Amino acid sequence: MVKFTQVPELSLSDYVHGDAAKRKEFQDALYEGFKYFGFIILRDHGISEDLLEQAYSLSETYFALPDEEKLKCDSGDGGQRGYTAFGREHAKDSTHADLKEFWHVGREFAAGDPLGKIYPANRWPDRPAEFRTTFLALYHALEEAGQVMLEALAPSLGLNEGYFHALAVNGNSILRLLHYPPVPDGVEPSVMRAAAHEDINLITLLVAASSSGLELLDCDGKWLPVEGSRNAVIVDAGDMLARICNDHIPATTHRVVNPLGGPNVSRYSMPFFMHPRSDAVLSCIEQCRDGTEQPDIKADDFLKQRLDEIGLAG
């Protein structure tokens, strides 16, 4: 295996627009980065910088609203759509709540669409203006990039390019708008903006945050900062992908640490959690079976199990 000293940064344009050699080089680098870190950094992803800047501006405006106004769109049990208040979610096995609040945007569907009976409906605030249109546009842009990433990854696992697309098309994916307020005075050192955890889903596409703080636990047991350039997308593997490939690609532990030595200001980020369809079965692929694989489970059952573990069960 290649020995990496930092998370590799790849250009999605090499895969989308490159020749056969460039595409293969991207696929190999993606696979090696995922195997080694469970993370890569993606540039030239095709998502409009204007859209990203607008999204950050609207997110900051929304989270500055009074708490009573934000709670009008409270996500309720399950936390899958709308607003989740500060201090409600905690990492698996953690006894302390994370220092964050967030908003969830899910798949939007027309009246009468059968998915409306399966997935929760989105909730939308009265303000700021353009919140709904902006974040639906970002949702679709990140989903499109995610599908390309899964297509590029599949052959390295001995799968056809459409394998993950079949799992994730019309999936229960979620765009999370995150706000980490300034850390309150007197907080215990063990309490973090986001305690050590793994993501639940297939892959996460995280638009580089407004400030630093993201760290991953590397294969040597050391915490490594993950820094992407402005408007880069940080991509990591989640528990569902790890389960499908029997941890051949790990769901890497990561966290968001409190600011140390720098200004204690708000931090904003926008992860897109790419999920399979709720009825998809998470089954270990044949080439990764060795007798240690976990049993098959429906994606929705796995999601509910993990939501319960982090305090968001419905």
Residues 94, 173: Cα–Cα separation, whole Å: 25
The H or E element containing residue 171 is none
160-169 pLDDT, tens digit each: 999 999 999 9
What the chain holds in terms of domains, given with CATH numbers, is: 27-309 (2.60.120.330)
Per-residue pLDDT, 2: 54
Whether 313 has a pLDDT exceeding 60, the answer reads: no
Length of the chain: 314
Work out the mean pLDDT of the chain and round it to a whole number.
91
Q: 10 Å Cβ neighbour count for 143?
A: 19
Cα–Cα distances in angstroms (integers) from residue 89 to residues 71, 92, 263, in the given order: 15, 9, 25
Q: Number of C-alpha atoms within 13 angstroms, CB side, residue 21?
A: 0
Whether 308 has a pLDDT exceeding 90, the answer reads: no
- Residue % of the chain over a pLDDT of 90: 72
Cα–Cα distances in angstroms (integers) from residue 44 to residues 50, 58, 139, in the given order: 14, 23, 17
The H or E element containing residue 243 is helix 239-244
pTM given for the model = 0.93
- Residue % of the chain over a pLDDT of 70: 97
Tell me what the mean pLDDT of segment 272-277 comes to.
96
The two most distant CA atoms of the chain are separated, in Å, by: 56
13-22 pLDDT, tens digit each: 999 999 999 9
DSSP letter at 137?
Answer: H
φ/ψ of 143, rounded to 5, equals -65, -40
Query: Token digits for 271?
Result: 């992860």
Query: Token digits for 220?
Result: 């040597």
Residues 283, 231: Cα–Cα separation, whole Å: 34
Number of H helices, E strands in the chain: 8, 14
70's CB contacts (< 8 A; 6+ apart) are 62, 63, 83, 85, 101, 125
Of 250, 245, 243, nearest to 303 (Cα)?
A: 243
More confident residue, 180 or 94: 180
Query: Token digits for 136?
Result: 């639906």
Per-residue pLDDT, 94: 75
Pick left, alpha or beta for residue 76 (phi over 0 → left; psi -120 to 50 → alpha; otherwise beta). left
DSSP letter at 29?
Answer: H
Residues 75, 245: Cα–Cα separation, whole Å: 32
Q: Residue 36 carries which side chain, given as an amino acid letter?
A: Y
Q: How far out from the chain centre does Cα 269 lie?
A: 10
197-252 pLDDT, tens digit each: 999 999 999 987 777 789 999 988 999 999 877 778 999 999 999 999 999 999 99
Whether 314 has a pLDDT exceeding 60, the answer reads: no
Whether 11 has a pLDDT exceeding 90, the answer reads: yes
**Which 3 state secondary structure label does DSSP give 301?**
helix
Query: Token digits for 127?
Result: 């303000």
Per-residue pLDDT, 153: 97
96-141 pLDDT, tens digit each: 888 999 999 999 988 888 888 888 899 999 999 999 999 999 999 9
Tell me what the mean pLDDT of segment 76-87 comes to.
83
Per-residue pLDDT, 299: 93
Query: Token digits for 242?
Result: 């790890």
